[in-house]
Amino acid sequence: MGSNFRAPDMSEGDPTVVLPGDLILEYDPEKTQDRIFLGPGLRWQDKTITATKCGLLRKTPKKIYFVDSQQKRYVPEKRDFVLGIILKKRGDFYMIDIGASMAATISYLSFENASKKTRTELDVGDLIYGKLIVANKHMDPELVCIDSYDRAVGMGRLPDGGILFTVPLHVARLLIKPDNPFLHNISKKVTYTIVVGLNGRVWVKTAREGEMVAVMNAILLLEVMSEEEANKKVLKVLESFI
Amino acid sequence: MKETPLSTCERTALTDMVECGLRHDRRGFLEARDTTISFGREYGSCSVILGETRVLAQVTCEVVEPRASRPSEGKLSIAVHLSPMAAPHLEPGGGGGSEVDALQQVLERNIKESRCLDLESLCIRAEESVWQLRVDITVLNHDGNLCDASNMAAVAALRHFHRPDVLVEEDGRVTVLSHATSPPVPTFMRKVPVCVSYALVCPQEDKCLVLMDPTHVEERVMTGKLVAGLNPHGDITSLVFPGRVALKKEQIMKCLEHAFRRAKIIAEMVQQAVEDDLQTRATEDRPSGFRDKLVSDEEYKRQRFTHLMATKVLTLPTESTEAAVPMEEEPSAPEEQDPANETTTNVTATSTNGLVDTPDDLEESRTTAVIASVTKTCKNKKKKVKKTKDVKMESDSEEEQQQTLLTSQDLQ
């Protein structure tokens, strides 16, 4: 951390509560070599970073700062992986609902191996897992399904036969937290494929319908329980279904 | 704000699961969600929680002039408010919207037109002043099956309501007495109207499964719906059947039989809740109202999970659909496709909202997918159809007669 960081103690385990307008830290990219990333709930203006939401200020080891708050409505943020539903086709773009106030767009060229001749055909109602590359208040959000090397790396249209459900945003973040054993715990009982969008949409696929409902209900546990409690109870819930 | 579009994934997942005999919350097909009825501090304020659906009903009264056509009857009006608070896709302002209209219509048929409330007892002075009761129903959270929840809330609120006593002086002046000076007068409600909704989900063309108390997702996926307004005494006050489904007569009868059983339970529950609250109210100086009774969504979900963990699912019916399918399940397809049977088996189609299919057209096209909306009202007492369990015993010809009667009534 540079000397210009005026933030409250931001050690890993002990997040601070911030309110909208709270000064988090001063950051001038010209003066310091430290590069940091801002996630949801923070904003950089006039060389200072302030909070725009109330919640817990969190920081990851990779210097990503964000405010962890409980909300259900998704606000698009650049670099977020989201799950969208195709709304309609408009010229060279598909309109996609990502649960935000505006529909997002995706160009038919931003899929792996797509060219003007071999375009990916998507139908209305299909599910897309993609990454936001444009997200600001003046423009429609834009998704891509390729990384900077033109590879899909798991993004694209999701196969048929899964189940889609919505969870609050903090649950989605909790699920993909690398050190959270929750998903591993589920996999002790059920073999499944899961896709978690940061917009709170979760897609699960298993071999049998019953297991899908089981996994869905297990994940919904996180909505009402703390991480530790849910980890304890997840197997019980799964067992009650299977 | 627009409603989130329904993805193909959600639709197929739900229908596939229903086909396997499984609902998302592991309920049985004919199992309702937990229902809680609680009363506020005032008379006639009632909140009903049906799963995650929450409805608040409040009854108010005022002295008005009666209608010229019915000089000795009080008035009853029902207003439904659906705001973005209930679900973000609903328009603010509450006005308009087909959902509000449909809901209001069902409630008016069930409560007002069934004449379960003795309006004559609301008369103060014939031709001069009567009581007007107004039921305001506010949907606080929309998770499907608003009809059942708001009907229950409205009825419970009306039964719970006490209007102030009045003093009519010799010169005709009417003084409304406060609750402190004279005890309030309870409303007199003869019957308990109940509304029971069934979602009809068709995984395949010729197969139709019946789900009771549908959630919002189920309501979005369903092909059709059957909303029956009835009371435990055996009267059907309304029957709405919108959507593109063809149901066989027996199926509808089975639904109605089940609805009557359910109506009995709900009616008892409502009566019990009202009586209990009025009793505790009599002993307390200051009723606690909703303060201690309302359950938060989080608490409800927690309870649901605890309940889930406590009860294991008996057998997960993955292979045999037959085992999972409740009695309401349509027995088989071939009969339905039999053209000879068709005219009699399909409930004669009438107009839905906007779409008008005359029976003649249908006979010509002989489609199995019938846009059917049968609406029976007992507006006209002569035509009031009494359907009880013994209806099965009736001969077919009689039933046909009934049906023709109903159709002619609908087409009016």
Structure confidence by residue, pLDDT tens digits, B22-74: 888 888 899 999 999 999 988 999 999 999 999 999 999 999 999 999 999 99
User: What value does the mean pLDDT take over residues A95-100?
Assistant: 93
**A226 burial class (0-12, 13-18, 19+ CB within 10 angstroms)?**
exposed
Residue numbers in A near B9 (CB within 8 A): 125, 127, 158, 160-164, 203
Same domain, B213 and B180: no
**B315 burial class (0-12, 13-18, 19+ CB within 10 angstroms)?**
exposed
φ, ψ of residue B308 in degrees (nearest 5) = -60, -45
Q: Number of folded domains in chain B?
A: 2
CB B353 within 8 A of CB B242: yes
Determine, for residues B5 and A217 on separate chains, whether the beta-carbon distance falls below 8 Å: no
Tell me the whole-structure pTM to 2 decimals: 0.79
Give the CATH number, domain containing residue B49.
Answer: 3.30.230.70
Reported confidence tier of residue B306, pLDDT bands at 50, 70, 90: confident
CA distance A196 to chain B (A): 15
Nearest to B59 by CA among B122, B132, B127: B132
| B284 or B56, which is more confident | B56
**Does B354 contact A at CB distance below 8 Å?**
no
Span(s) in chain A for CATH 3.30.1370.10: 163-241
Reported confidence tier of residue B396, pLDDT bands at 50, 70, 90: very low
- For chain A, the C-alpha Rg in angstroms (whole number) is 19
User: For residue B293, what pLDDT is reported?
Assistant: 80
Same domain, B223 and B164: no
**Does B64 contact A at CB distance below 8 Å?**
no
Same domain, B208 and B166: no
**Does B298 contact A at CB distance below 8 Å?**
yes
Question: Which of B122, B157, B190 lies at the terminal end of a domain, its last residue?
Answer: B190
User: For residue A126, what pLDDT is reported?
Assistant: 93
Residues with Cβ within 8 Å of residue A170, at least 6 apart in sequence: A68, A69, A70, A71
Same domain, B143 and B200: no
User: What value does the mean pLDDT take over residues B160-170?
Assistant: 90
Q: In terms of CA atoms, which chain A residue is nearest residue B1? A: A101
Q: What range defines the domain where residue B45 resides?
A: 32-190
Which CATH number is A81-157 given? Answer: 2.40.50.140
Question: Which of B170, B190, B210 lies at the terminal end of a domain, its last residue?
Answer: B190
Residue B290 lies in a domain: no
Architecture of domain A163-241: 2-Layer Sandwich (3.30)
Give CA–CA dist A31/A65, Å, rounded: 19
| A13 or B37, which is more confident | B37
φ, ψ of residue A168 in degrees (nearest 5) = -60, 155
CA dist list (Å): A111 to A97, A100, A115, A199, B7 = 17, 22, 9, 20, 20
Residue type, B184: P
Same domain, B124 and B260: no
Same domain, B250 and B390: yes
Kindly state the tokens that stand for B382. 């002569």
User: What value does the mean pLDDT take over residues A69-98?
Assistant: 91
| A163 or B313, which is more confident | A163
Determine, for residues A240 and B4 on separate chains, whether the beta-carbon distance falls below 8 Å: no
Site of tokens 């085992």: B323
**Does A192 contact B at CB distance below 8 Å?**
no
Residue numbers in B near A242 (CB within 8 A): 316
Same domain, B219 and B351: yes
Determine, for residues A210 and B298 on separate chains, whether the beta-carbon distance falls below 8 Å: no
Same domain, B159 and B216: no
Residue B207 lies in a domain: yes
Reported confidence tier of residue B340, pLDDT bands at 50, 70, 90: very low
SS (H, E, C) chain B: CCCCCCCHHHHHHHHHHHHCCCCCCCCCCCCCCCEEEEECCCCCEEEEEECCEEEEEEEEEEEECCCCCCCCCCEEEEEEEECCCCCCCCCCCCCCCHHHHHHHHHHHHHHHHCCCECHHHHEEECCCEEEEEEEEEEEEECCCCHHHHHHHHHHHHHHHCEECCEEECCCCCEEECCCCCCCCEECCECCCCEEEEEEEEEEECCEEEEEECCCHHHHHHCCEEEEEEEECCCEEEEEECCEECCCEHHHHHHHHHHHHHHHHHHHHHHHHHHHHHHHHHHHCCCCCCCCCCCCCHHHHHHHHHHHHHHCCCCCCCCCCHHHHCCCCCCCCCHHHHCHHHHHHHECCCCCCCCCCCCHHHHHHHCCCCCECCCCCCCCCHHHCCECCHHHHHCCHHHHHHHHHHHHHHHHC
CA distance B3 to chain A (A): 9
Give CA–CA dist A13/A11, Å, rounded: 6
Determine, for residues B316 and A241 on separate chains, whether the beta-carbon distance falls below 8 Å: yes
Span(s) in chain A for CATH 2.40.50.140: 81-157
> How is A58-125 classified by DSSP, letter by letter?
EE-TT-EEEEE---SS----TT-EEEEEEEEEETTEEEEE-SSSS-EEEETTSSTT--SSSPPP--TT
Question: Which of B166, B190, B214 lies at the terminal end of a domain, its last residue?
Answer: B190
CA distance A202 to chain B (A): 11
User: For residue B21, what pLDDT is reported?
Assistant: 87
Residue B265 lies in a domain: yes
**Does B69 contact A at CB distance below 8 Å?**
no
Strands B174-176 and B75-82: unpaired
Reported confidence tier of residue B151, pLDDT bands at 50, 70, 90: very high
Same domain, B257 and B385: yes
Task: Reply yes or no on whether the pLDDT at A168 is more than 70.
Answer: yes
CB B124 within 8 A of CB B115: no
Residues with Cβ within 8 Å of residue B3, at least 6 apart in sequence: B87, B88, B89
CA distance B274 to chain A (A): 31
Which of the 8 DSSP states describes residue A186? H
**Does B5 contact A at CB distance below 8 Å?**
yes
| A59 or B374, which is more confident | A59
Q: What is the pLDDT of residues B174-227, one digit of tens each?
A: 889 988 888 899 988 888 999 999 999 988 877 889 999 999 999 999 999 999
CB A128 within 8 A of CB A197: no
The crossing angle, in degrees rounded to 10, of helices B249-283 and B146-160 is: 40
Percent share of chain A, pLDDT over 70: 94
CA distance B148 to chain A (A): 25
3-state secondary structure of A173: helix
Which of the 8 DSSP states describes residue A148? T
**Does B1 contact A at CB distance below 8 Å?**
yes
Q: Which of B3, B309, B315, B321 to mutate to test the interface with A (most CBs of A within 10 A)?
A: B309
CB A233 within 8 A of CB A225: yes
Beta bridge partners of A83: A129
Nearest to B173 by CA among B125, B132, B127, B133: B125
**Given this structure, which CATH class describes domain A16-68?**
mainly beta
A214-223, B66-75, B380-389: least confidently modelled range = B380-389
User: For residue A191, what pLDDT is reported?
Assistant: 93
User: For residue B409, what pLDDT is reported?
Assistant: 44
**Does B188 contact A at CB distance below 8 Å?**
no
Same domain, B182 and B220: no
Determine, for residues A97 and B4 on separate chains, whether the beta-carbon distance falls below 8 Å: yes
**Does A102 contact B at CB distance below 8 Å?**
no
Q: In terms of CA atoms, which chain B residue is nearest residue A223? A: B298
Reported confidence tier of residue B313, pLDDT bands at 50, 70, 90: low
CB B325 within 8 A of CB B254: no
Same domain, B213 and B175: no
Secondary-structure breakdown of chain A: helix, strand, coil percentages, each rounded to the nearest 5: 20, 30, 50
CA dist list (Å): B152 to A109, B108, B237 = 54, 13, 15
